[in-house]
Structure 1
Amino acid sequence: MSSSSYDYIIIGGGVAGLTLASRLSKLLPRSETKQILVLEAGTDPSKADYILSSTGYHLARESEHAYILDVEANPHLNRRAAQVSVGKALSGSGAINGSAWTRGPKVDYDYWAKLVGDDAWSYDKLLPFFRKTEQVVDGQGEPIAETERDEIHHGYDGTLKVVPMKANHPSRHYPLRETIQRAWEEAGVKYNPDGNNGNQNGLTEMVELWVKGQRQLPSQALDLSRVEIRDFSVVSRITFDHSAGGEPVATGVDLVGGEHFGANKEVILSAGVYHSPQVLMLSGIGDPTVLQKHEIPTVVPNGEVGQNLVDHLAVGITWKLKHPEKGLAIGSPLFNDPSYFAGWPLDFILFGPLDEPGNLEPLIKDAADREFLLRPDASHMEIVTLYAPMGPRLTGIDAAMDGSHASSIAVCLTTTSKGSVTIRSANSEDPPIIDTNFNATETDRYISREALRKATSVYLETETGQSFISHEVTPEGYAAITRDTTDEEIDKRIRDFGYSLDHPMGTCSIGKVVDSHCRVHGAKGLRVVDGSVIPVPLACHIQATVYAIAERVAEWIANGE
């Protein structure tokens, strides 16, 4: 066994871990001693073309740079088992995700701050950290003209190049863009040119991190020159000192294979929503009953570790287009122009409330859920329309890429279904047990149904929608979705085809597992900094939030808070 020591050890070289390491290395006084060590289980993915290219997204999710984790059979989704992919690479899930960039609404962060009793998590207090991560550019990666900037809400010299579709290069102009916009406006949904300024609801521009079809890896975008990084380093446990009495003090980590690293100041766990609670439990922090089952001595009893898992459930729809020349067809001029696949083939994301939020009230079983679901300006649903078919796994339809099909995704954002993550064994190389518990509540089922009905009403009931969409292509044996389709028929579609949108949160929640500065309850010198600390279901693709969390906590650590 070998050993060496650092001031800070960060477990996980993903979005949160690398952002934290980079910012902390700049905030700390320069020192001759080794200060920050990042331990990453995977390796550097930057030489893999499928990682770097937007067209390789699906390959990335199934590659050696991903953990492909089994999800328990779900009784609320017809007992279907599933799989989720998370990053196993330097850059973490930033190496395999879809690179969407959405913050969510102001009201979500203000609710978070109220829930945990700390205004530091309010939208206005987090805004400087959101701006630090952003460098808003056009589709060619060039700066936005100063006259078009909104420096109150956005950053223009931050870590990552952020590309709104409206600022994209003229050559990537999808033929259906204006038609889609008119259909939503005809349905009474206002166009919102900037959904990332705290006011999210409306038909918002897609904002992404793809720049000319290339992924921005955190490991390349961040300055890590003062950080030591070790890949192929799987952590087996965090070690503690109990000699002083009182709360145990985190002293370092043991790796699989026996190597030990000491931490003079803090161990920071940034292993992600599924693996951070696993590492805590393997280290003796968790439900004592679970720990005893696997003969792990209890260091800090806390039954909340691994609980409170939330994610967004999505259902796909396939449309038949009236004018195939406006879709993306193999062999067509559009398909052969690489600019059309330089990111996701879409222009807009609809974020919005329910048309009749009062209908939720009789379905709500819990007072906390009532406050959460009935907030003014909440984003209950998300609807995305792509100019290409999504495939049978997501829609039940194996539609040809011949220009005659498009697809939509309808998403329940304000989920109240909560799942869990726990350990399979005392071996850190065994994957965790994941129970998403999707679709478990009446309110979730109602929101999913209404999101599907909303999508079909816009495209099949408006004059504009009818001008370019012929009909919904339904899986064999399933009813088309309309306002008149019964709840039971729509529920069957959700149970059979609902899937994770890969936005997990909450398994080490602030207020339950960590305090409002992300310090683990009952232990000293130990924090969790990643999406697992998010205590409420945010109505967004959570990548931007995870960057902001890491930026926020880095400042606290540097200030000794």
Structure 2
Amino acid sequence: MLWDYIVVGGGLSGSVVSNRLLQQDDSLKILLIEAGPNANDQNIWPNATNTIGGTYDWRLTSTPQAHVDNRSITLAQGKALGGGTLINMGLWTRGDRSEYDIWSKIVGDKRWSYDGLLPYMKKTELYWNHTTNSEQHGYEGRVHLQTPNSTNRTYPLRQKVLQSWEQVGVSALPFLDANAGDIHGVAEFSECRDQGRRQTASAIYSLDGITVLTDTLVAKVLITGPEGCPSASGIQLDNGTIIFGHEVILAAGAVHTPQLLMLSGIGPKVELSKHGIPVKKDLPDVGNNYADHLLSPSAWKVKNPEQGWALGSSNPVFKSAANALGSSADFVVTTSIKGDGLAKAIEADEGRAPSPDHPLLRNGAFFEHIMLYTGSTDGSRVSFSGISLSPMSRGSVTLASADISDPPVIDPNYLATAVDRYVYREGVRQEVAVAGSTQTVLGREILDGEAQPEGFDQPYTPDSTDEYIDARIRATARSVHHPMGTAAMGNVVDTNLRVKGVCGLRIVDASVLPVVIPTHLMVAVYAVAEQAAEIILQDQKQGTKCIPPPERENSGTSTTKCERWTMGSAPQ
């Protein structure tokens, strides 16, 4: 059989693009191939098996990280139908309008701006009310959204936490909504849950009518065609089976997509030659531009645990059925990082003092803070997760060998820039101001300082030195599991998601993001996949097809230039 579309990777983006293609044209023959199992019956929350390091995780690790005490960092990636939506936290945040607009400007295509992607963000959502920024939200999508408010999870420190952030200069967003284009401030914690049930992409975007192969590893994309005009004609499985198709869509994620490209002969010539892989298309940027968000946690002691402030106490709020519907958190808080120290860090990285209009000196979305009512079994602690949202450091994905069974070499290059180290340090100081100082009601009345971490002789305090904070971050930082950028739009794919210079091959996943989106990536990837399906179908309707240029009469030679022509309109 000759398939119309072969989709490699049954995670979020692969499930969505397959579903939407078939929904618009039920005559299409679509094959979806997933390396992991079908776990659609596991879409409940909580579920102990669906965790990082569990059954449905690739269990990848990074190379030793020079700026993180030479530790190898766990890099979770979903390995099952639904991908990351089967194991992630479920936090639903779009990110800031400005970063999408930078993306659009870089590639010269308004479809990838915030306003260009907004219809697809809305198309995905089934929002929980019609009064919060109704022009920004969708009400007919597949993904059910919920908040503590919508599920009647009234946590005891809600007002005090809100007041404390205000006391350090961070205000509440209008309607407490971070999904309206501006994320600077305090927003309600929003999750993709349906009354607590996990929303696995492959379950809510039905794969009925699509041929699905699970527990099946793709070894490479088959690249054929004359020299100078490579074309994807199908895929080869790791057992040697060949499957042909008109178009191959890679949706394997920001780690495995570049690995597959390189194993197929598409990537940096030097890297391919190192492993004896014939070069089909020299694309130097494949596997580069790797970016990820980094998290460092802290735990804070409760002064009077018997008053019922935290999970594990006798407070009936934490024992209620409603509490089990989602994460024990009120808010997600996004802050900028300012001050002379940022300019000095930029100078350290760039070798000269930045001008006042330097892009990093704008009001960027640099850091995210989440206070959780968890941290002990007896209600004596709460915790903070501090996440660096806009890292400047860039890493890479390269090959360990020419065998798909060998995991790729992943070097995120965490905290490699002075800016990243400064931003993280200042983000921690913001949390210390909220949780551990007399500036706030939380610090004065509720909490009793940081719980001294194992391996350190002191807790965080407002007087902690830069050196001590840096050491703590190096020792505790871990991935938020948001890899992106390794097949970036503009460098590896065009704005129609087609791999540059290779006919019949597209990429639809987080690897195409050319900029770091300062948020949890799920909304952005849903929107990319939704728009991708429309772009692919538009090409189909127009009859656009990759074909090599015909030999010209009396020329005596044939051109090797590779172009895309509408079927039937090739020059004569």
- Of 506, 526, 540, the residue aligned with 2:505 is 526
Q: Following the alignment from structure 1 to structure 2, what is the Cα–Cα distance between the partners of residues 542 and 533?
A: 12
> 2:145–2:190: 8 Å Cα contact kept in structure 1?
yes
Paired amino acid for 1:464:
V
Q: Deviations over 1:101-139 (max 9, x none)?
A: 0000000101111122222111011100100100012xx
Paired amino acid for 1:132:
K
Matching residue of 2:72: 81
Q: Describe the shift of the 1:313–1:373 C-alpha distance in structure 2 as closer, same or farther (beyond 3 A).
A: farther
> 1:479–1:485: 8 Å Cα contact kept in structure 2?
no
Matching residue of 1:47: 41
Cα displacement (A) at 1:249: 0.8
SS at the partner of 1:425?
coil
Cα displacement (A) at 1:373: 4.8
Cα displacement (A) at 1:375: 5.7
Q: Does 1:127 align with 2:109?
A: no
List alignment gaps of at least 5 residues for structure 2: 545-572
Cα displacement (A) at 1:55: 5.0
Name segments (4+ residues, structure 1) moved above 4 Å: 369-373
Matching residue of 1:397: none
Q: Percent same amino acid at aligned positions?
A: 36
Q: Deviations over 1:51-88 (max 9, x none)?
A: 5222537x522222210012111110010112211111
Matching residue of 2:480: 501
Q: Following the alignment from structure 2 to structure 1, what is the Cα–Cα distance between the partners of residues 300 and 450?
A: 5
SS at the partner of 1:17?
helix
TM-score (structure 1 length as normaliser): 0.90
SS at the partner of 1:362?
helix
SS at the partner of 1:208?
coil
Paired amino acid for 2:112:
W
Matching residue of 2:514: 535
Aligned residue-pair number: 529
Deviates more, 1:126-135 or 1:339-348: 339-348
Q: Following the alignment from structure 1 to structure 2, what is the Cα–Cα distance between the partners of residues 121 and 47?
A: 34
Cα displacement (A) at 1:149: 4.8
Q: Does 1:35 align with 2:35?
A: no
Paired amino acid for 2:447:
I
Matching residue of 1:308: 289
Cα displacement (A) at 1:335: 4.1
Q: Following the alignment from structure 2 to structure 1, what is the Cα–Cα distance between the partners of residues 189 and 358?
A: 26
Q: Deviations over 1:342-377 (max 9, x none)?
A: 211101011011142x5322322349x987852634
Q: Following the alignment from structure 2 to structure 1, what is the Cα–Cα distance between the partners of residues 201 and 407?
A: 25
Matching residue of 1:247: 229
> 1:102–1:196: 8 Å Cα contact kept in structure 2?
yes
- Of 136, 150, 153, the residue aligned with 2:127 is 136
Q: Following the alignment from structure 2 to structure 1, what is the Cα–Cα distance between the partners of residues 197 and 361?
A: 38
Deviates more, 1:157-166 or 1:413-422: 157-166
Q: Does 1:442 align with 2:418?
A: yes
- Of 139, 150, 155, the residue aligned with 2:138 is 155
Matching residue of 1:374: 360
Paired amino acid for 1:114:
K
SS at the partner of 1:261?
strand
Q: Deviations over 1:298-355 (max 9, x none)?
A: 1111221111111111111110012321111177634432421321110101101114
Matching residue of 1:558: 537
Q: Does 1:482 align with 2:464?
A: no
Paired amino acid for 1:453:
R
Q: Deviations over 1:16-58 (max 9, x none)?
A: 0111111111223x42xx521111111111334xx5222537x
Q: Following the alignment from structure 2 to structure 1, what is the Cα–Cα distance between the partners of residues 234 and 159?
A: 56
SS at the partner of 2:91?
coil
Q: Describe the shift of the 1:355–1:17 C-alpha distance in structure 2 as closer, same or farther (beyond 3 A).
A: same
Q: Does 1:186 align with 2:170?
A: no
Matching residue of 1:464: 441
Q: Following the alignment from structure 1 to structure 2, what is the Cα–Cα distance between the partners of residues 260 and 375?
A: 52
- Of 405, 408, 431, the residue aligned with 2:384 is 408
Cα displacement (A) at 1:151: 3.1
> 2:436–2:462: 8 Å Cα contact kept in structure 1?
no
Matching residue of 1:396: none
Summarize the alignment of residues 92-491 of structure 1 with structure 2, pairs less than 5 Å apart: 92-137=83-128, 144=129, 146=130, 148-166=131-149, 168-170=150-152, 172-192=153-173, 193-243=176-226, 245-264=227-246, 266-324=247-305, 325-329=308-312, 333-356=316-339, 358-364=340-346, 365-366=349-350, 373-374=359-360, 376-389=362-375, 400-461=376-437, 462-465=439-442, 466-475=444-453, 476-491=455-470
Q: Following the alignment from structure 1 to structure 2, what is the Cα–Cα distance between the partners of residues 114 and 464?
A: 43
Q: Following the alignment from structure 2 to structure 1, what is the Cα–Cα distance between the partners of residues 334 and 80?
A: 31
Q: Following the alignment from structure 1 to structure 2, what is the Cα–Cα distance between the partners of residues 549 and 449?
A: 33
Higher CA-based Rg:
2
CA RMSD of aligned residues (A): 2.0
> 2:74–2:478: 8 Å Cα contact kept in structure 1?
no
Q: Following the alignment from structure 2 to structure 1, what is the Cα–Cα distance between the partners of residues 94 and 477?
A: 24
SS at the partner of 2:212?
strand
Q: Following the alignment from structure 2 to structure 1, what is the Cα–Cα distance between the partners of residues 449 and 33?
A: 51
Matching residue of 2:551: none
SS at the partner of 2:72?
strand
Q: Following the alignment from structure 2 to structure 1, what is the Cα–Cα distance between the partners of residues 304 and 358?
A: 42
